[in-house]
Amino acid sequence: MSDKTIFARIIDREIPADIVYEDDRAMAFRDVAPQAPIHILIIPKKPVDMIENLDDADEALVGHLVLVAKKVAAQEGLTSGYRLVFNNGRDGGQTVFHIHLHLLGGRPLTWPPG
Ligand code: AMP
């Protein structure tokens, strides 16, 4: 069995996804279980499992994910705002161990999250 995460398999086109953005370093696709009218995941193509395992050389990559989120939010018409979230680790609610930035929008979002 492959030890690749589901997101690595999406990057390699082994399983389908509704991809809304892609470049040499990142990909964005719609979450299969959306928690808001717009729910998109922005991921690095580099397989990093958790924030803890990012290193200094990844600084630009992480910044790139935020800038991709900005582009995708504009593409999706999210002119009234949106939320960007990294769930990290067990208590953070992370379920897929390939870091990903959630872009949520299309409705007013409450705070604090659950
Ligand atoms: P997290 O809980 O922060 O690790 O988020 C993982 C997210 O990946 C969840 O919101 C899932 O709904 C989403 N997800 C899992 N499998 C897929 C898939 N095949 N395509 C798109 N989104 C997925």
User: Looking at residue 21, which CATH number applies to its domain?
Assistant: 3.30.428.10
pLDDT for 2 equals: 65
Best residue among 51, 95, 98 to mutate for probing ligand 1, ranked by most atoms within 8 Å of CB: 95
Q: Does residue 26 lie within any of the structural domains?
A: yes
Distance in Å from the first CA to the final CA of the chain: 34
Residue recorded with tokens 């040499």: 24
CB atoms within 10 A of CB 43: 24
Residue span of the structural domain in which 29 resides = 6-105
**Does 30 reside within a domain?**
yes
Mean pLDDT, rounded, of the chain = 97
Q: Is residue 73 part of a domain?
A: yes
Quick: pLDDT tens for 40-65: 999 999 999 999 999 999 999 999 99
Q: Establish if 113 belongs to a structural domain.
A: no
How do 38-44 and 101-105 pair as beta strands?
antiparallel
Calculate mean pLDDT across residues 65-74.
98
Residue 41, class by beta-carbon neighbours within 10 Å (0-12 exposed, 13-18 middle, 19+ buried)? buried
Stated pTM of the model? 0.97
Find out whether the beta carbon of 31 lies less than 6 Å from any atom of ligand 1.
Answer: yes
Domain count, the chain: 1
